[in-house]
Structure 1
Amino acid sequence: MTASPVLDEPITQHATMGGDTQSLTEQVALGIFIAVPFLALLAAIPIAWGGWLGWSDLLIMGAMYWFTGHGITVGFHRLFTHKSFKPNRFVKNALAVAGSMAVQGPLVRWVADHRKHHKFSDRDGDPHSPWKYGTNLRALWKGFWHAHMMWLFDSEQTVQRKYAPDLLKDRDLIRISRHFWAFVLLSMLLPAALGGLITWSWQGALTAFFWGSLVRVALLHHVTWSINSICHTIGDRPFVSRDKSANVWWLAIPSMGESWHNLHHADPTCARHGVQRGQLDTSARLIWLLEKAGWVKEVRWPVAERIQAKLVSAQPVSS
């Protein structure tokens, strides 16, 4: 397998179309890409009730959700942010493209934000803590929406050279991150193309665009953002962590295992987040399959003794 083109020194300050300050144009574009899919999500039930939902729409939406969602969870998060395993070049680039097609921002910016979140989790400096404004009900409600999505509009961006210098040494990842706009177009247009080809009709293309592009993007957006908001507000905390990260079981399937968030903050580089019995984690299963195929190596699987030591119940009781 050809080695990844990694440079000895960083070649750029950042790998996005913008810099470390978000422009008004970027904020407007961001607002559009949040608002339009969300409006489609609100209209989904009446449109489905009206008969504008076919088997091909569900198939395309499910496939796109699975592909782009795991691009975020396995690629952007467990690989590029936390280095939970080492992939070959093809898998590395495929995961970078899949995550970019989730329409959650350029790769390097996403990783820089998330690494900063872990450094300051639920403390001053955390880009998206729901506890930012305090602990009373009004402050927490404001903080919840900040953590869920409003933090995305902060004009001051995370410094990429500081928080993602390793990614800035990789020509493949810089190229993919800088061409984020192209993968957004691909992500939005591919479902329509598939729907048109499957049904051989303009109506099939239109409904596939509605469900496979707009509704799918909105669902994945809000599920991903719920890890920042819901999973730092409510849930179970069986493991010791220095923040308020928690497990929320009913988000496990749509989040592809990311909502087992307490263990993740207790052991961030672990490739599997759902480590207890019955905790579904499809992202970990995909990494396992890639490892079996010989496409990834050095996977940081959970170690029983390490996990046991992190349980709250295993901590010594102070006198």
Structure 2
Amino acid sequence: MNKLLIFFFIVMNCVLSQAQTYKDWVKKADSCYDAKNYKSSVDYYTKAFKIEQKDSKDLYNAGCSAALTKENKKAFKWLNLAIDNGYENIAHIKIDNDLKSLHDTKKWEKTISKLQKKVDILSAKYDKPLEKELLEIYAEDQGIRGEFMNVYKAPKPDKKKIDSIGKIMNQKDSINLIKVMKILDERGWVGKDVVGTQGNQTLFLVIQHSDLKYQQKYLPMMREAVKNGNATPANLAYLEDRVALREGRKQIYGSQVARNKNTNKWYVSPLADPDNVDKRRAEVGLGTMAEYAAKMNVEWNVETYKMELPELEKLENIKE
């Protein structure tokens, strides 16, 4: 190969590398994680973090991918950077199955201790007993769902195991709902300034996983909480969508997906005004529909979707 041709390829490689933004690398990393290609996910995160290391969520997710490939050094580096950049979900990190391989190491105890100290400082003015109760509820809610998804996503899902874990999940949800309803009825939708970010998030998760009548009961309270800064607009968007579909109406933000029993393909549940969904999503702090669909392994083309919408409405018995 002559020198001129070699130089051309070097230049082209540099141009292509520069064309990739931080978000591009993270998107590829997330896609590889979803496909269980954790080694490639780590490689893409490494490229992303050469550009910047600021997003605690991305750093945490990268730590998970690294742990799954037994790259413990990178895993702990990224997890600690996540903590340094604002990660504070100590309830989740303790039950995250992706990180199980790290639990028996000395660095794990140091990392958890570091996070605990940070959380203790942040929570100095919290209602400690209430926060503790909500974090325990969170662990119950998300822990059983982690177990369920591990079985559900297995190469050959065991239907008996799915049904068994499903029953346990329903039992736990019923108990958690009673506890959360008591809190909401007595204290209202308490904000993160009282119970921390994760405690506040727990209120939404339990209501989001409840029956329609309870969602309808607490939806107005959550709307008011968003106005007062005690709940996040993005979480409210998810609850608005779920209630709308259960009531036979189209969703607003495109947060809900379903599987077509006839084709076995996943799709975005019936959505009002698809052309302007990205504008509505941006208003509540959600990414674009295309980004969300890719993460959920759902095809998204707005023109195709609009043509398919009448059939999707029939599938889900949409009346409005």
**TM-score when normalising by structure 1:** 0.28
**TM-score when normalising by structure 2:** 0.28
Higher helix share: 2
